[in-house]
């Protein structure tokens, strides 16, 4: 069973992600921001990371950069799930090492398809 790490400061969004991912057969671990996400990574290596951009303590860009600097997680796909649709931010995420970009509100079927595509 593949494990997905979701990182989002919104409890509602974390709950929606957990419901959609568990229904699709994934194991889900969750974090509330980038700092928490890095802590969770010390305990489990996910197959895919899904992260928000705008979060307190450490934003998604900081998380992506930190994950990419660690050899253990260099190959883990990272999908950005955010309300942002700005091209410059998409480019910044890509340069930081993000694998893909999904704009909220998300459609569970599209999110699941994207996760399966990058995890293959």
User: Taking the domains of the chain in order of start, what are their residue ranges?
Assistant: 3-119
Question: The pTM is what?
Answer: 0.96
pLDDT band at 84 (very low <50, low <70, confident <90, very high): confident
pLDDT per residue as tens digits for the range 102-111 = 999 989 999 9
CA distance 10 to 30: 11
Q: Beta-carbon neighbour count of residue 9 at 10 Å? A: 17
57 — alpha (psi -120 to 50), left (phi > 0) or beta?
A: left
CA distance 63 to 60: 5
| Average model confidence (pLDDT) across the chain | 95
pLDDT per residue as tens digits for the range 17-59 = 999 999 999 999 999 999 999 999 999 899 999 999 999 999 9
Q: What is the pLDDT of residue 120?
A: 84
Residue 85 has pLDDT above 90, yes or no: no
Which CATH code, of 3.90.79.10, 3.50.80.10, 3.40.50.2300, 3.30.1330.100, is assigned to 3-119?
A: 3.40.50.2300
Mean pLDDT of 48-73: 96
Q: What is the pLDDT of residue 68?
A: 97
Tokens standing for 29? 């671990």
Q: Beta-carbon neighbour count of residue 67 at 10 Å? A: 24
CA distance 20 to 36: 22
Q: What is the pLDDT of residue 119?
A: 93
């Amino acid at each position: 069973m593949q494990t997905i790490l979701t990182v989002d400061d919104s409890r509602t969004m974390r709950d929606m992600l957990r419901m959609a991912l568990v229904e699709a057969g994934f194991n889900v671990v969750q974090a509330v921001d980038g700092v928490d996400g890095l802590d969770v990574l010390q305990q489990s290596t996910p197959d895919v990371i899904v992260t928000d951009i705008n979060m307190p303590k450490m934003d998604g860009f900081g998380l992506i950069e930190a994950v990419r600097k660690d050899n253990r997680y260099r190959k883990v796909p990272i999908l950005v799930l955010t309300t942002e649709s700005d091209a410059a931010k998409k480019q910044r995420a890509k340069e930081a090492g993000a694998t893909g970009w999904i704009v909220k509100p998300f459609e569970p079927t599209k999110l699941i398809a994207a996760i399966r595509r990058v995890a293959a």
